[in-house]
Chains A and B, each alone.
Chain A
Amino acid sequence: MTKARTSRSTTAYLIIVFVVVFNLIPFVWMISTSFKTYEEAHKIPPTYLPQNPTVESYTQILIWTNFPRYFLNSSVISLGTAILSTFVGALAGYGFSRFRFPGRTTWIGVIIATQMLPGVLLVGPYFKMLVQIRLYNTYPGLILAFTTITLPFSTWMMKGFIDTVPEELDQAAMVDGCSTFAGFRRVILPVITPGMVATMIFAFLLAWGDLLWVLVLTSGDNMATVTLGLSRLVTQFRIIWPQLMAGSVIGAIPPLVLYVILQNYLVKGLTAGAVKE
């Protein structure tokens, strides 16, 4: 018994050591490369850690390229998406959670099904549409696009969170003379704040990581995002890896920090209703 348990935990530790190595090597490689000089990064054979660590790649991309602008664009677009899709999602989530109306299940089905539509199906006509209403290459055009991509998910997550709030709570508010909307605002919203934060972060990350939609819906350098900027750097004739890795480090930090904070909520939100019976 004890022996079995020891062997089991030894296996577990071995797996975990493997995981730590497998997971971290690419990060170490990215960070290490970002601190190398151009010559060192392209040396044969490669060095594992920078011999003369330098921050020149960081200063170069921050000062001599449009990277700060990309970062700003990514932030504005992702933040706008997060706020809009979470609030619209919270409203819809409340509607689905609290009211039984004809067509309810159908609409839930439709909303879930829209998640299955591939971006490449929609992005072409959406591009035409944006050009026509003059929102091509603008923040609102992109925020609207991303909101719609994240909305089914936000709605579903918010519904899951609102389902966990006892209905007596908003009924009590209505007995106290609150209108439905005031009840939603004063009773539900404060209780589901953690859920809203989780949903917001999730939407933020989805928008932050996208390439396809920004590739199609923007032109030139001023509206490019971090992912698009990096993708353009790598298609250039001469790839400067330390700069590219420095940009990758900067682009990877916001999602990394947010995910680690969000971890527990994320599992709950993604699997709402699946764990509990």
Chain B
Amino acid sequence: MSTASAGRRKKGSSTRARNILRGYLFILPCILLLLLVLGFPMVAAVANSFTPLWSPEKTFTLANYFSLLEDVLFWNALKVTGIFVGGTVGLHLVLGFIVALALNTAIRAKKIFRVIAILPWTVPDVISGLIWRFMYNPTSGIINDVLMRIGIGGDYIEWLARPGLALPSVIIADVWRGYPFVMIILLAGLQAIPKELYEAARVDGASRLQEFVNVTIPGVMRIMLIALALDTIWQIRRFGLIYNMTLGGPGHVTEILSLYVYKHYFKYFNFEYASAIAVVMALTMLAISYPYIRTITRRA
């Protein structure tokens, strides 16, 4: 009997070892690819921000980070990114929520509306940028023309060339492109709220506002936070839209961080400095997304 149990234990531990091995074998290709294509460039970028990797003279320096502190354009890019991300994510959420609520009420032909509601999100951001750029065209664009017809405009407004208007204009274009994502996610969340909760609230005599605050909001909270986290991360990285609408201009008023790093890399060829900015950007993104990563990992 003792030998039997010992045998079982031995067998058990070898199965366990084999399972560990198998688990690693399955995730190995994924990890190798990530190390090769993400890990290596990441380490290189971080190293490069401290010492010029691709030049014969290799000295450790913090100079890149110090010049960051004094770089007006870096702070400008940080501010522009903040306004762009805050503005777009906020508006995606508000508009997405309103439309999701509307689509969630009993209406006819739901399917076709759902398809129409998602359409803008299917367009690559490069193409959305181009469409809106032509819509904003001062003389041949539709926006000024409509405004003039309904009597608000009356002027050939340079939406993308006027410093005060360029960033809001870009944000509006991105709201069109991006809100449907938040909307479909929220719609899925709304539909997952059990009907009984609403019935119970009604029995208790809750007003519509109370129903919204006490049933709807808590019901979609988790999924809403996920949508917000994903959207924020995607918006910080957005590139093609602004690249094609304004290229950061006029001046630097729409120059978001990703564009600023890109310019330092491939226009001014300041590899080390560009790396330093990108490192700061990456750290910011990791910090913002840390709660999201933790939650997801813990639930896995």
A residues lining the B interface (CB < 8 Å): 4, 8-9, 11-13, 15-16, 19-20, 22-27, 29-30, 33, 41-46, 48, 88-89, 91-92, 94-96, 98-102, 104-105, 107-126, 128-129, 144-145, 147-148, 151-152, 155, 159, 180, 184, 205, 208-212, 215-216, 226-227, 230-231, 234-235, 241, 244-245, 248, 251-252, 255-256, 258-260, 263, 266-268, 270-271, 273-276
Contact = CB atoms under 8 A, between A and B. Distances in A.
Contacts of B274: 120, 124
A122 B131 contact: no
B114 interface: yes
A29 B278 contact: no
B117 A23 contact: yes
B170 interface: no
B102 A117 contact: no
Given A91-B26, A124-B274, A19 B240 contact: no
Given A252-B122, A266-B184, 7 more contacts: A46-B142, A108-B300, A118-B236, A120-B265, A125-B48, A126-B37, A276-B192
B127 A46 contact: no
Highest count of chain B CB atoms <10 Å: which of A89, A98, A234: A234
A12 B135 CA distance: 28
Contacts of A91: 26-27, 29-30
B222 A248 contact: no
Contacts of B42: 117, 121-122, 125
Given A100-B23, A117-B285, A234-B133, A209 B126 contact: yes
A116 B41 contact: no
A120 B261 contact: yes
A125 B240 CA distance: 20
A259 B180 CA distance: 12
A224 B72 CA distance: 34
A140 B240 CA distance: 22
Nearest to A257: B122
A244 B128 CA distance: 12
Contact of B102 (A11, A92, A105, A268): A11
Contact of B38 (A114, A260, A275): A114
Contacts of B247: 235
Highest count of chain B CB atoms <10 Å: which of A95, A113, A121: A121
Contact of A119 (B26, B117, B258): B258
